[in-house]
Structure 1
Amino acid sequence: MIVDSPLWPRVPVATRWQQSSRGAKNPPDVWLPSPQVKEDAAAKKKENEPISVSSRTLTRTNVSNRKSIKRQFVTNKRQSVTNEPIVTKTTVEEPGKRSSSNLNIATWNVRTLRKEGNWEIPLEEARSFNLDILGLSETYLTESDTMISKEDFTALLGCRKDGIGREGVGLLISQSLLSCLVSFESVSPRIITAKFRTKEGILNIIHVYAPTSTHSDAESDQFYDVLQHHLQKVNKRERLILMGDFNAKIGTDQNTWCPAMGRFGLGKINERGEKLLEFCMLNKLTVCNTHFQHKDCRKVTWTSPCGKYKNMIDFIITQQENLTTFKNCRSYCSADVGSDHNLVLATVLSAPVKVKRLKTTPKSYDVSRLHNSLIAEEFRAKIGGAFEPLLHLEDTDVETLWEKFKNTTNIVTEETGGFQRKKLVKGLPEEVRKMCHLRRKARVEMLNNPTAANKNNYKTFNKKVKYEVRQWKRKLRENDVSEMEQAYSMNNSHDLFKKVRKLAGEKTTTQAVAKDNQGILRTAPDEVMKCWEDHFNKHLNTEFPRDDDILKTIPEPVNRNTTSLPFTLEEVEEAVKKLKNNKSCGCDRISAEVLKEGGPLMNQMLLKVINKAWSDREIPEDWSRGLVTPVYKKGASLILPITEPLLFCPSLEKYSAGYCLLESKIL
């Protein structure tokens, strides 16, 4: 028999040295891959002669079957040595579609997010690629908050504390994955970490921005020391994804650096690349970009301004044993945010844990429409027609009477005014979107053919995109100013100051997350509710010492025959007029504007409820309930002890008239 060269290269020396250092005295058989067998003319005649291949007995039926079995056997041996999946043909899924069992995780150096409109374009690209997690490098932000809301994404930021707009990293997390967030830490302007709860276990995401070649080796060593410190905090049973802009070129020498890299590298290695690969070898990591066969244009992550130099310096790195969970990893030059870096996207086999959502706060009605005289007349006619038969009903208990009043009022208010609609500017307008599409096409042409004409064409479209974004923002500001003038002319101070606060600075929405007493971040709705319950039980439901002598000094109320003094309709109307507008309604969703526009029949029904509560010495359950909302202080949106709670009680807001009357009757 003729022995040919093996199908795959022999295992590198570094791998044999690692295995021998674990205590193996003799080299195992898996170090040497099995040779490919070729038959001579004499061997072809022995068709039924059994042969032994690694303790397996096979029947020599035909050459093609034997070769396929042998090739599969050698492939399995090679995979057991290097833990490297054999990629023969990569299945590239559409970036905008994915199954529910996959996570789209990407990294991108956006160069800056401080300029006008630079948040909206990355968000639009994240939606088009259906990303779950997007790591951002070189954000140049100086935000004091580490967690802010951006439309349908949540941003975790790591910025400088001295106010200088340099470096900066961040993680954009989709709202569907936010409930799976376990914890996060903004280590420095170059490192940010986050933990997510998935069906396969805890997934650790570490996003970095390494020092460039212009920085000294001491800064680079300090960066890797901090990264190593936080890498050691990760449990060995948990999965890890390390990604970002490492500013390092790792080349194509897979034989020397196996299994830290695969067979599909790019370019030549440099000193920073050697440091990165040594770091991967030390922590048993591997670069996912090099394990999937793609064109060179899909490996490039950075292109020089002249278009002459193209390198792979943005990486997605994972543990060697978790490499099989990656379906694909490549760069997309079609994603454009005005940066010289490409988007690097990986599809990972992982499904987020589904969390049961709690009941949300009831929607508020659009009572501003009641300022229109025609709509107000229609509302009074409908509410009067609905309350007229209820006034002649036989007396029932106060709870039933209140439920009829509340349900009838809510139904008529919904039919007349509808619900409030938040004016959210989500996504880019059509003009900006078209210009971004043209800039994207010009960028692809420039990368494929970096001529002077294509470069100038891309620069022209880049300027046009920035101009369209400025015009779009200018129109939004002009609309806000016109609404402010209209509110001022109508003496509507509520809407006026609301617009003033919006123009003074963008108000970030705080997420429904909290830290418990041990400092552990809680993101699931039921866990957050438990944190607030424990917080209020600790600070409010406590026994305070009291002085009985002071209680004796309080005079006793004057005894009066209160049963013979029922409330009158004039007293209820006077109390309703004193209610303030633009106040938050409680759990009954009945605002002061609705009570004022209800008319005489609504006041008669309210009088009937109050007199029934007075005669039965019992109030409805809704009158003793309230909605609690947290008022976060700047920079401390996750710490409960320094958070102010506000209590919205419908019994104190809308039925304060009835309580004032009760107090006047008693005293």
Structure 2
Amino acid sequence: MSHQPGRGRRKKRAREPKYVRLRYASWNIGTMTGKGRELADVMKGRRINVAFLQETKWKGARAREIGEGYKFYYCGSDGRRNGVGIVLDRHLKQNVTNVDRKSDRIIAMKVMLENVTLNLISVYAPQSGCDDVAKEKFWEDFDAVTMTIPANEEIYVGGDFNGHVGRMNVGYERVHGGFGFGTRNTQGEALLQAATALDMAIANTWFQKRDEHLITYKSGNHATQIDYFLVKRNKINCIKDSKIIPGEHLTSQHRLLVIDVNIKIQFCIRTERPPAKIRWHMLEKNECAIKFKERVIDKMIEMNGMEGLNANECWNEMANYIRRVAKDVLGESKGKGVIDKETWWWNEEVQGVLKKKKQAFKEWQSVETGQEVEKEIKRTEYIECKKKAKRAVAIARTAAQDNLYESLNSPKGEKQLYRLAKARERSSRDMAHIKCVKDDAGKVITKDEAIKERWKVYFERLMNEENEWGRVLEHRLINMGAVKEICMDEVRTAVRSMKNGKSVGPDDIPGEVWKLLREDGCRRLLTSGRLGRLKGAQPDNPALQRLWDDTLCERSYAQLLAQAARVEDAARLKAVRQPESRACLQALPSPHLGTLLDNDTLRVGVALRLGSKVCEPHRCICGVMVEANGHHVCGAVPETPCDQ
């Protein structure tokens, strides 16, 4: 093989560690009601991979798709206050290994990024007006979540801590970067103490920014910094930037805080790709169904003249041709072009209204502080645009739902309803794909070879550990008689009983194909079935009863030999099967030839032949116990042998 100079270098570069840049965002959203699709649009425009949300005000603990491939994991209590959540993009949501919903103020999850484990925690601390019990409960839960994380895993905490760490870092130089905003208060002091205890740095205090890019909450003339990101102190050099984006319009008071993180990972080379699947659902279209049926029937007519092929060869020839025609006529799916079914109401009219709302919000925020009249006018315009946007979204969603309800009343509505319910249930799961497992010590395994070895050990232990049982096998009688010939009515009944939309078997051919072919398909199945029985179970000449008896005897012998519990029973069956075993029945009983047996010898010989009892269990004169089968030869006194 010729030498390829660049090939080795490419493989070496693929094995080297690389840096992946992720963008995290923290945002007190106010409420998630009616904002899911807008939030997905903001995250896509700002290239945000993970969003830590507070005050979602959604009840329950579930997960939901919000559009553009983003998935929202949330936890709430009563739906009127608090609530936290985390939003992941289309790539990270496939690698979730665990979700811990501690309370309506703390949610944590683990995400595997190749060989790196990310612990993402979204928090919402109690406000200054809450009692001390709620504040102590929050910090206890926060310590319980962070203390259980192994030291080799990365931690990123984002949220609204409702505290001011201040501009100065006196006394907390290790965790405070010295570029904060405002004056430190009691809640900020508690945050700094927690960061010091956990050896975590407050990331957005390590970057020098102007005040407008430090303020996370602004209402009128009141501006504070209450949203923070916490990372491990030894990972502070991985934070490349931190800033506030004041121009987003989902909430008018809280601002979007983002940080850019560089993560060093070891890429795994993925050599295997999932195979493409045939689009069997295209058979519902008349044009595709007619074209597919014509080509398959022509092949069936051609195969009627084939002789000398056994059942497997005929079936493989037909099945391979059906699959080739299906790929040509129906096509194959490549796993691309996923339709966002959760936000099908997101039309151009809604996007235009929301664009005007965003523009009005930017104009309102861009007015300087001294121009109060102009600022009030822009604020009024923003409120009007916000009302129009809500009205447009409600109308679009209602129209889309009406179309859905009308389609459910059709004959295919029941099938579509179950499909929609199944898709929504699948999207609400926390972990869609499990790509890693834990070993005996609880450590997460990410490498493919280690995962395979773990499953191998697990199944070996599962299959080889014997449970307690009475050691009595249940033997059921099997009908070993002749089977009646398969008729056409049985094939028709079997084809009609096949349900549509089921998974294909090993042959990759669904039941809809045979329903489409109708009589031609049933005739082909009948021919294949009869050919299989003639070439396999039936004798060459079924008219001779002796050939039927030989076939059934072979089956009975194989079954009895498999059920033999002892070596003696298996040896007896093999001896009886030999042609010479019947020779004693044809011998003449003559004392001169030695073929005339006495009563005891005949009794022992017949008992050994049938496997029945030879004698009563007793102790021989040599001291050895003789069992009922009499398999013992005494060596103590040669003149007095035991029964043999």
Change (3 A) 1:210 1:435: same
Separation in 2 of the partners of 1:299 and 1:133?
20
Q: Please name the residue that 2:595 is paired with.
A: none
Q: Describe the SS at the equivalent of 1:101.
A: strand
Letter in 2 for 1:226: D
Separation in 1 of the partners of 2:54 and 2:440?
31
Whether the 8 Å contact between 2:26 and 2:159 is mirrored in structure 1 is yes
Change (3 A) 1:550 1:158: same
Separation in 2 of the partners of 1:392 and 1:545?
56
Separation in 1 of the partners of 2:398 and 2:457?
45
Match of residue 340, structure 2, among 408, 424, 427: 424
Whether the 8 Å contact between 1:254 and 1:261 is mirrored in structure 2 is yes
1:566 CA drift (Å): 5.3
Whether the 8 Å contact between 2:94 and 2:433 is mirrored in structure 1 is no
Change (3 A) 1:200 1:120: same
Match of residue 38, structure 2, among 118, 121, 124: 121
Separation in 2 of the partners of 1:416 and 1:269?
70
Separation in 2 of the partners of 1:503 and 1:549?
45
2:196 is equivalent to residue 311 of structure 1: no
Q: Describe the SS at the equivalent of 2:341.
A: coil
1:233 CA drift (Å): 2.7
Letter in 1 for 2:167: T
Letter in 2 for 1:424: D
2:212 is equivalent to residue 297 of structure 1: yes
Q: Please name the residue that 1:234 is paired with.
A: 149
Change (3 A) 1:508 1:276: closer
Separation in 2 of the partners of 1:600 and 1:261?
80
Letter in 2 for 1:468: A
2:206 is equivalent to residue 262 of structure 1: no
Separation in 2 of the partners of 1:393 and 1:525?
51
> Which segment is superposed worse, 168-177 or 538-547?
538-547
Which deviations, in whole Å up to 9, do the C-alpha atoms of 1:135-171 show, x marking residues without a partner? 11112222243x55555234333333xx454312122
Which deviations, in whole Å up to 9, do the C-alpha atoms of 1:182-202 show, x marking residues without a partner? 433222211122334446744
Whether the 8 Å contact between 1:370 and 1:597 is mirrored in structure 2 is no
Q: Please name the residue that 1:454 is paired with.
A: 378
2:477 is equivalent to residue 559 of structure 1: no
Q: Please name the residue that 2:316 is paired with.
A: 403
Separation in 2 of the partners of 1:547 and 1:590?
42
Match of residue 157, structure 1, among 74, 79, 82: 74
Letter in 1 for 2:379: K
Which deviations, in whole Å up to 9, do the C-alpha atoms of 1:606-632 show, x marking residues without a partner? 3343234323449xxxxxxxxxxxxxx
Q: Please name the residue that 1:646 is paired with.
A: none
2:245 is equivalent to residue 332 of structure 1: yes
Q: Please name the residue that 1:577 is paired with.
A: 496
Separation in 2 of the partners of 1:416 and 1:448?
58
TM alignment of 1:607-622, pairs within 5 A: 607-617=526-536
Whether the 8 Å contact between 1:198 and 1:353 is mirrored in structure 2 is no
Separation in 1 of the partners of 2:452 and 2:190?
42
Q: Please name the residue that 2:22 is paired with.
A: 103
Letter in 2 for 1:425: K
2:48 is equivalent to residue 131 of structure 1: yes
Whether the 8 Å contact between 1:262 and 1:290 is mirrored in structure 2 is yes
Which deviations, in whole Å up to 9, do the C-alpha atoms of 1:324-368 show, x marking residues without a partner? 111101121233323532221111110455465976586463436
Q: Please name the residue that 1:380 is paired with.
A: 293
Change (3 A) 1:195 1:599: closer
Whether the 8 Å contact between 2:439 and 2:454 is mirrored in structure 1 is no
Whether the 8 Å contact between 2:64 and 2:72 is mirrored in structure 1 is yes
Q: Which has the higher contact order (CA 8 A, sep 6+)?
A: 1
Which deviations, in whole Å up to 9, do the C-alpha atoms of 1:260-297 show, x marking residues without a partner? 32232222322212222233233333221122223322
Change (3 A) 1:496 1:370: closer
Q: Describe the SS at the equivalent of 2:102.
A: strand
2:395 is equivalent to residue 471 of structure 1: yes
1:492 CA drift (Å): 3.7
Change (3 A) 1:119 1:419: farther
Separation in 2 of the partners of 1:528 and 1:461?
56
Q: Describe the SS at the equivalent of 1:388.
A: helix
TM (norm. structure 1) is 0.66
Separation in 2 of the partners of 1:261 and 1:184?
29
Change (3 A) 1:248 1:169: same
Match of residue 407, structure 2, among 483, 493, 496: 483
TM (norm. structure 2) is 0.68
Separation in 1 of the partners of 2:470 and 2:527?
39
1:110 CA drift (Å): 1.4
2:279 is equivalent to residue 365 of structure 1: yes
Separation in 1 of the partners of 2:397 and 2:445?
33
Change (3 A) 1:295 1:532: farther
Q: Please name the residue that 1:141 is paired with.
A: 58
Letter in 2 for 1:337: L
Q: Please name the residue that 1:436 is paired with.
A: 354
Q: Describe the SS at the equivalent of 2:475.
A: helix
Separation in 1 of the partners of 2:59 and 2:452?
28
Separation in 1 of the partners of 2:253 and 2:330?
51
1:383 CA drift (Å): 1.5
1:100 CA drift (Å): 6.3
Q: Please name the residue that 1:188 is paired with.
A: 103
Separation in 1 of the partners of 2:314 and 2:514?
17
Q: Please name the residue that 2:621 is paired with.
A: none
Whether the 8 Å contact between 2:279 and 2:332 is mirrored in structure 1 is yes
Note the residue ranges of structure 1 that are not aligned, 5 or more in a row: 1-98, 619-667
Q: Describe the SS at the equivalent of 1:410.
A: helix
2:92 is equivalent to residue 177 of structure 1: yes
1:433 CA drift (Å): 2.3
Separation in 1 of the partners of 2:290 and 2:417?
29
Whether the 8 Å contact between 1:112 and 1:138 is mirrored in structure 2 is yes
Which deviations, in whole Å up to 9, do the C-alpha atoms of 1:630-658 show, x marking residues without a partner? xxxxxxxxxxxxxxxxxxxxxxxxxxxxx
1:208 CA drift (Å): 0.8
Separation in 1 of the partners of 2:342 and 2:447?
25
Q: Describe the SS at the equivalent of 1:244.
A: strand
Whether the 8 Å contact between 2:408 and 2:414 is mirrored in structure 1 is no
TM alignment of 1:518-533, pairs within 5 A: 527=451
Separation in 1 of the partners of 2:98 and 2:442?
7
TM alignment of 1:647-658, pairs within 5 A: none
Letter in 1 for 2:528: V
1:243 CA drift (Å): 1.4
Separation in 1 of the partners of 2:416 and 2:153?
51
1:203 CA drift (Å): 3.3
Change (3 A) 1:300 1:535: farther
Separation in 1 of the partners of 2:398 and 2:519?
48
> Which segment is superposed worse, 239-248 or 606-615?
606-615
Separation in 2 of the partners of 1:523 and 1:361?
25
Separation in 1 of the partners of 2:457 and 2:524?
37
Letter in 2 for 1:448: S
Whether the 8 Å contact between 1:362 and 1:589 is mirrored in structure 2 is no
Q: Please name the residue that 1:511 is paired with.
A: 432
1:234 CA drift (Å): 3.2
Note the residue ranges of structure 2 that are not aligned, 5 or more in a row: 1-17, 370-374, 538-644
